[in-house]
Structure 1
Amino acid sequence: MAYNNKTALIKWIAILTMTIDHIGYYLFPSLLFLRVVGRIAFPCFLYTTVKGVRETRDFRKYLLRLVLTGVISMPITAQTGNVFNILFTLALFALSIKDYRFILPAIFLAQFTEYGLYGFLMGWTIYVLAEKQVGAGIVLFLLVNALQFPSLQGFAALAFIPLLLPVTFPVRPLPKWAGYAYYPIHQVVLIFIARLM
């Protein structure tokens, strides 16, 4: 799957902001700004999922990677109360945009995953943005996030800045499996460090 420069950059931003978020969660829970920065990650992962579904040569393998990483990560994310973690949310979203017949089942199942129905609706606003319907996407994006204020998740609205900016420079993409492997591994490392502190 050949990512373009923007998709590659958005994925790097997603990984970086997710890491900052988890550093805040596991190591420095009193530093709220780390969690605020971390709200940018989820919309960015949704964007790369839209592009991934559109550009993958084998959707079944793409979906399997999401689900398999989610299953492997379950013992880790269960410690935070999110048994069915973000990977399951992304998998349901990917399935729903690949085949619209799965939208209603995905909406139902999304309620049991991390980010729940909000995450699923957010996915569809990102889908509208990614499909070049920028005006409608921005409106939906801001409306969905407005429902989350004054909770921390409302700061996900900050993600529309990198999502809308053009990328005119080359960006080296992550290797295909690197992002998937990084998700459980970096959390294991942070949990280990937290227990030493």
Structure 2
Amino acid sequence: MSSTNLKILACITMLIDHLGAVFFQEYDIFRIIGRLAFPIFAFLIAEGFFHTHNIKKYLIRLAVSAIISEIPFNLAFNGNIFELGSGLNIFFTLFLGLLSIYIYDNYKRNGLYFVFLIGIIAELLNTDYGILGVIIIFSFYYYNRKFNKQALSYIVITLLLVVVDFASYQIINLQIFSILALIALYFYNNKKGVNLKYLFYIFYPGHLLILGLLKCVL
């Protein structure tokens, strides 16, 4: 399974998740399927670090996308274009996760301190998955090409995420299903596949904008 295949799978499961969150909150199956999206995106961010030609441009793309996506994010989930204290979209978590990898790679001696500092920043900013989201991304990087260790670390972190009061009670219980994403990651072939570099950058704010507008109309 190429990185493009994984990206498409993550986008599809994320769309299903968001459909459930916005329109079908009474049906857990939407959110269960949606739990597969984040670990795949986290894995792809770590892989992206090793394959990108310019890490700084990669960080800039994520940061810009995070800012652009915030209005559609708020519109879809809060019904407003701006919602103070409602949390920040997943692009902020992905940006901070990649930033933690970049800093660690350049300052390995004290790098772990920076990783946890960035995780705390994610928690304070109330990004999706917060500090544990950053740690998940970093662990995929740290155990690169060692799938057994990647899988074990993800399972341990996920169990912590289930226990900690990180989101609503419902989502905490459903988060355990995200471990199923490891099946897809196991079949990753370290190939890029069809070049859909900007798929997620366009799809994420685009589908949220559509869901937000539909929510306002319906």
Alignment of 1:9-48 (within 5 A): 9-48=5-44
Counterpart residue identity of residue 90, structure 1: L
Matched, 1:178 2:182: no
Q: Distance in 2 between matches of 1:170 and 1:56?
A: 11
SS across alignment from 1:30: coil
- 1:68-83 alignment to 2 at 5 Å? 68-79=64-75, 80=77, 82-83=86-87
Match of 1:148 in 2: 161
Q: CA deviation at 1:194?
A: 2.5
Question: In structure 2, do the counterparts of structure 1 residues 82 and 182 end up closer, same or farther at CA, with 3 Å as the change threshold?
Answer: farther
Other-structure match for 2:98: 94
Do the aligned partners of residues 77 and 97 (structure 1) sit closer, same or farther apart at CA in structure 2, a change above 3 Å counting? Answer: same
CA distance in 1 between counterparts of 2:74 and 2:20 reads: 18
State the alpha-carbon separation in 1 of the partners of residues 62 and 213 from structure 2.
Answer: 25
Equivalent of residue 160 in structure 1, options 182, 186, 201 = 182
**CA RMSD, 1 decimal:** 2.2
Percent of aligned pairs with the same residue?
30
TM score, norm. by length of structure 1: 0.86
- 37-46 vs 6-15, which moves further: 6-15
Runs (5+) with no aligned partner, structure 1 = none
Q: Shift in Å at residue 155 of structure 1?
A: 1.7
Q: Distance in 2 between matches of 1:166 and 1:126?
A: 13
Aligned match of 1:127 in 138, 141, 144? 141
**Residue correspondences, number:** 191
Please give the TM-score of this superposition, normalised by the length of structure 2: 0.79
Where structure 2 has 5 or more consecutive residues not aligned to the other structure, the ranges are: 78-84, 105-110, 163-171
The residue aligned with 2:168 is none
Q: Are 1:194 and 2:189 an aligned pair?
A: no
DSSP 3-state at the match of 1:72: helix
* Secondary structure in 2 matching 1:172: coil
**Aligned to 1:9, what secondary structure does the other structure show?**
helix
Note if contact 1:82-1:114 (Cα within 8 Å) is conserved in structure 2. no
